């Protein structure tokens, strides 16, 4: 077991290193440097700027320095915002994205599991058909359209009520949170509902459910103790990629609802070609996601003994 | 306690279990044909592809032409309208005794009002419905005014407020005007329309026009080309790439397999947006140019690992399977094995991944165009159409709803088709367990 854990962690660290390296060399493969335009009016100024950001050193030295700084958790200084450290940007804006993401994830998992279980329970009957229709719709409408429609809906609801029930955009209070989180989680919810439904149906047809029924357990007890718990397993494995989808997909919702999260910042940095911010946030996101996936993998081993055994043997 | 023979009753004779008998499964297309959803989805997909391919011939309007007199209108048919001269107006021939619209067309609304003895000038306002004054147009000492400002066919309420010497204002005069659709001489010339008997015929706009007066149907059709181009090319390329990569890993096996698949794991973790931008910059594409090629490139180079894993898994499974071993024993060549066993087993799976990858790619294109990383403004794409539509969704919802419906219907059709394909191949579903 310990070997498996160590292996997973080492593998995660290797992945983060790969992301950091690929990002670094990708950024340096780009011809020219960020200071070739209006910012550097004279050659002297340009040299000073390059020296300030360490761009005058050979690439290999820059790479070593970059890795060293990164190990200390230092992502450098923004190119477009004077004296603003990437760390500060992340520290300031990531919590916003994280709160939004966590709430979205909670809504998505709760809704997805409940929806999938209900659909499987009333398999091929009205609740199932309605839910699956909703799922297909949620998967087929782009998130930015759903976000815009949600805003439209808030506007109409506020108009109808004659007062402000929910804010249309912005950030700061709890009431700003619900609709963006729901919109952000909707796609994932639909996906999880579908997964949960098919996994529930698989479980329903197993022999141990038949045994449980034969020994006289109530429907509710079978549902709760045997079906739900076993059906949850495949859903748990999907949580890693799901978290990835929610955190990286957040930027559209952040853009439309004017939420000052890291995703929005990333898009802005991309549009302004702010290299250090792009590199810093990319590596940060990458490291964050890899960590989550490793944790989910290890948790899965705890939940399902079969994985643990298999992993130990490998 | 003991039992007697009379305590038992023989079971009625039962049919042998159906699942045990091995019958060759019907071909995939026949299974799909029996599935109503799949048929509808397939028809939609084919229709969308045909529209994207042939759209510009079916509906030859240019997606860039601006019909300035028909901005944000709903569905409208073809019509013949007058061409009016757009020379400057010198005022009415004779005095009027109340606020009058001497001409009410979308080229100009010409207003005249009686001169009031106390007034030194008049302020003219225009409101789109409602009773307030609305938008101020001008302040003039004359008793006439010609409004040329972006008129469309709707009810306007014009108000004229007299201003006295001391700056105070008097009681406003007002009138409601419904301009008739006309074309100015200059606009007609600009659009290349030659008037016959002072009239030109305007083309129909079956889906209305957008906020810049461009025909929505033609924009949707041209947008379909962009979306379908990206949506089909990228998945086809990366699934092919992934299939070859996975097959190679699976066939070679051993440490090569290990290294190849570890590399695939790394690629999955790479950030898509960053690499797209990187290719953009590396290819020398400026911020105002189309980013479609780097988008496809990034999708192809970063999305292949899932297909690779799928194919590798299949190859490994097949290598161990009894039928491949017996074929090998019977002296089958590698080529025969690939053609006879590998491809028929892998292709349907790839088809399923393709039908799920296409909507994903269409979404990605729409999303990136939405944030301005995809196509550039004159070229429409479903994503940019939605982006434009969102700006005017409160006043003209059709501009958002139509492109959103186009995306959703296409994505839905591909998803349903993928589901049906998967179900058709899933033995459990076929036996009616689900």
Q: Which strands, in side-by-side order, build the sheet including B100-104?
A: B100-104, B109-112, B144-147
pLDDT at B433: 44
Residues B87 and B120 grouped into a single domain: yes
Residues B178 and B224 grouped into a single domain: no
Residues B370 and B238 grouped into a single domain: yes
With contact defined as beta carbons under 8 Å apart, do B263 and B305 qualify? no
Q: Give B-chain residues touching A129 at CB under 8 angstroms.
A: none
Rounded alpha-carbon distances, angstroms, from residue B348 to A292, B28, B419, B422: 33, 9, 12, 8
Q: Domain ends where: B185, B203, B238?
A: B185
With contact defined as beta carbons under 8 Å apart, do B389 and B400 qualify? yes
A166 CB contacts (<8 Å, ≥6 apart)?
A154, A157, A158, A175, A178, A179
Residues B179 and B241 grouped into a single domain: no
Residues B265 and B366 grouped into a single domain: yes
Tell me if B17 is assigned to some domain.
Answer: no
Tell me if B119 is assigned to some domain.
Answer: yes
Q: Shortest Cα distance from A175 to chain B (angstroms)?
A: 22
The CATH number linked to B224 is 1.10.3720.10
Cα gap B277→A282, rounded to integer Å: 12
> Which pTM value belongs to this model?
0.77
Rounded alpha-carbon distances, angstroms, from residue A112 to A179, A192, A219, A251, B277: 17, 5, 22, 22, 34
Tell me if B192 is assigned to some domain.
Answer: no
Cα gap B32→B430, rounded to integer Å: 12
Tell me if B309 is assigned to some domain.
Answer: yes
Among B36, B263, B268, B271, the residue to mutate for chain A (most A Cβ within 10 A): B271
Instruction: Please determine, for the modelled complex, whether the ipTM score is greater than 0.95.
Output: no
Domain count, chain B: 2
H or E stretch at B121: strand B119-128
Residues B280 and B376 grouped into a single domain: yes
Residues B289 and B339 grouped into a single domain: yes
Q: Give B-chain residues touching A257 at CB under 8 angstroms.
A: none
Residues B273 and B377 grouped into a single domain: yes
Residues B331 and B371 grouped into a single domain: yes
The closest of A101, A151, A198 to B391, measured between CA atoms, is A151
Residues B356 and B265 grouped into a single domain: yes
Of B270, B371, B416, the CB nearest to A22: B270
Domain enclosing residue B273, as ranges = 38-61+212-432
Residues B269 and B416 grouped into a single domain: yes
Question: How many residues in chain B?
Answer: 434
With CB atoms and an 8 Å threshold, state whether A19 touches B271.
yes
The CATH number linked to B92 is 2.60.40.10
Residues B237 and B109 grouped into a single domain: no
Q: Does A133 touch chain B (CB under 8 A)?
A: no
Q: Does B19 touch chain A (CB under 8 A)?
A: no
Q: pLDDT digits over A178-212, tens only?
A: 888 888 888 889 888 988 888 888 888 888 888 88
Of B269, B284, B363, the CB nearest to A19: B269
Q: Does A278 touch chain B (CB under 8 A)?
A: yes
Tell me if B25 is assigned to some domain.
Answer: no
Number of H helices, E strands in chain A: 14, 0
With CB atoms and an 8 Å threshold, state whether B390 touches A144.
yes
Q: Give B-chain residues touching A278 at CB under 8 angstroms.
A: 274, 277
Q: Domain ends where: B135, B169, B185?
A: B185
pLDDT at A313: 40
Cα gap A156→A151, rounded to integer Å: 9
Q: Does B400 touch chain A (CB under 8 A)?
A: yes
Tell me if B380 is assigned to some domain.
Answer: yes
Of A26, A123, A198, the CB nearest to B278: A26
* Whether residue A308 has pLDDT greater than 60: no
Q: pLDDT digits over A212-257, tens only?
A: 888 888 888 888 888 888 888 778 777 777 776 677 667 788 888 8
For residue B120, give both structure tokens. Answer: 């030194």
Q: pLDDT digits over B341-370, tens only?
A: 888 888 888 888 888 888 888 888 888 887
Q: Does A10 touch chain B (CB under 8 A)?
A: no
Q: Which strands, in side-by-side order, build the sheet including B156-164?
A: B135-140, B119-128, B156-164, B173-177
Q: Shortest Cα distance from A54 to chain B (angstroms)?
A: 21
* Whether residue B17 has pLDDT greater than 60: no
Of A142, A152, A155, the CB nearest to B363: A142
With CB atoms and an 8 Å threshold, state whether A285 touches B271.
yes
Neighbours of A31 (CB within 10 A): 8
Tell me if B100 is assigned to some domain.
Answer: yes
Q: Give B-chain residues touching A30 at CB under 8 angstroms.
A: 278, 281-282
Q: Does A76 touch chain B (CB under 8 A)?
A: no
Q: Domain ends where: B167, B185, B203?
A: B185
Tell me if B20 is assigned to some domain.
Answer: no
């Amino acid at each position: 077991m310990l070997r498996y854990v160590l292996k997973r962690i080492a593998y995660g660290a290797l992945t983060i290193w790969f992301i950091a390296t690929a990002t670094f060399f990708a950024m340096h493969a780009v011809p020219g440097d960020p200071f070739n335009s209006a910012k550097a009016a004279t050659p002297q100024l340009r040299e000073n700027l390059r020296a300030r950001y360490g761009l005058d050193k050979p690439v290999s030295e820059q790479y070593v320095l970059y890795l060293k700084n990164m190990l200390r958790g230092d992502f450098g200084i923004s190119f477009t915002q004077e004296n603003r450290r990437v760390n500060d940007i992340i520290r300031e804006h990531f919590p916003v994205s994280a709160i939004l993401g966590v709430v979205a994830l909670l809504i998505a998992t709760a809704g997805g599991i409940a929806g999938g279980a209900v659909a499987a329970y009333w398999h091929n009957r009205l609740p199932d058909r309605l839910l699956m229709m909703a799922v297909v719709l949620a998967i087929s409408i782009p998130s930015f359209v759903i976000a815009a429609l949600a805003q439209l809906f808030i506007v109409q609801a506020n108009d109808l009520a004659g007062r402000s029930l929910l804010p249309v955009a912005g950030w700061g209070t709890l009431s700003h949170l619900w609709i963006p989180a729901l919109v952000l989680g909707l796609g994932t919810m639909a996906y999880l509902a579908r997964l949960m439904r098919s996994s529930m149906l698989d479980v329903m047809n197993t022999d141990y459910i038949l045994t449980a029924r034969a020994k006289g357990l109530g429907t509710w007890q079978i549902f709760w103790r045997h079906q739900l718990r076993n059906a949850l397993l495949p859903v748990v494995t999907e949580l890693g990629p799901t978290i990835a989808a929610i955190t990286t997909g957040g930027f559209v919702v952040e853009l439309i609802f004017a939420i000052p999260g890291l995703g929005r910042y990333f898009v802005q940095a991309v549009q302004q070609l702010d290299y250090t911010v792009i590199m810093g946030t990319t590596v940060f996101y990458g490291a964050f996601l890899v960590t989550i996936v490793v944790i989910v993998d290890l948790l899965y081993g705890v939940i399902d003994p079969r994985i643990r055994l298999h992993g130990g043997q490998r | 306690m003991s039992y007697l023979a009379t305590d038992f009753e023989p079971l009625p004779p039962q049919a042998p279990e159906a699942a045990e008998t091995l019958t060759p499964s019907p071909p995939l297309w026949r299974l799909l044909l029996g599935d109503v959803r799949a048929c509808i989805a397939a028809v939609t997909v084919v229709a969308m592809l045909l529209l994207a391919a042939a759209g510009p011939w079916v509906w030859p309007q240019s997606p860039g032409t601006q019909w300035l007199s028909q901005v944000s209108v709903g569905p409208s048919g073809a019509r013949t309208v007058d061409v009016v001269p757009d020379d400057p107006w010198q005022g009415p021939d004779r005095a009027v005794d109340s606020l009058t619209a001497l001409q009410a067309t979308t080229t100009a609304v010409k207003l005249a009002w009686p001169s009031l003895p106390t007034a030194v000038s008049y302020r003219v306002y225009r409101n789109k419905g409602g009773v307030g004054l609305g938008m101020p147009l001008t302040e003039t000492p004359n008793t006439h005014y010609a409004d040329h400002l972006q008129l469309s066919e709707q009810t306007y309420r014009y108000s004229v407020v007299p201003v006295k010497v001391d700056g105070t204002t008097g009681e406003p005069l007002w009138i409601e005007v419904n301009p008739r659709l006309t074309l100015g001489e200059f606009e007609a010339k600009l659009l290349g329309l030659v008037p016959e008997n002072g009239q030109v015929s305007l083309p129909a706009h079956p889906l209305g026009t957008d906020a810049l007066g461009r025909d929505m149907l033609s924009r949707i059709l041209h947008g379909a080309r962009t979306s379908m181009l990206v949506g089909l090319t990228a998945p086809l390329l990366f699934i092919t790439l992934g299939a070859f990569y996975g097959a190679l890993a699976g066939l070679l096996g051993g440490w090569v397999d290990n290294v190849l698949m570890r590399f695939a794991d790394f690629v999955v973790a790479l950030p898509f947006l960053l690499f797209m931008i990187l290719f953009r910059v590396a290819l020398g594409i400026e911020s105002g140019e189309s980013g479609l090629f780097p988008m496809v490139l990034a999708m192809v180079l970063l999305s292949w690992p899932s297909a690779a894993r799928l194919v590798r898994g299949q190859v490994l499974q097949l290598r161990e399977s009894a039928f491949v071993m017996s074929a090998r024993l019977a002296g089958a060549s590698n080529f025969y094995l690939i053609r006879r066993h590998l491809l028929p087993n892998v292709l349907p799976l790839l088809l399923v991944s393709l039908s799920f990858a296409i909507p994903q790619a269409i979404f990605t294109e729409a999303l990136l165009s939405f944030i301005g990383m995809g196509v550039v403004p004159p070229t429409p794409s479903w994503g940019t159409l939605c982006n434009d539509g969102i700006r005017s969704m409160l006043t003209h919802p059709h501009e958002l709803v139509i492109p959103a419906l186009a995306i959703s219907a296409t994505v839905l059709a591909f998803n349903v088709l993928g589901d049906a394909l998967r179900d058709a191949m899933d033995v459990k579903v076929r036996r009616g367990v689900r």
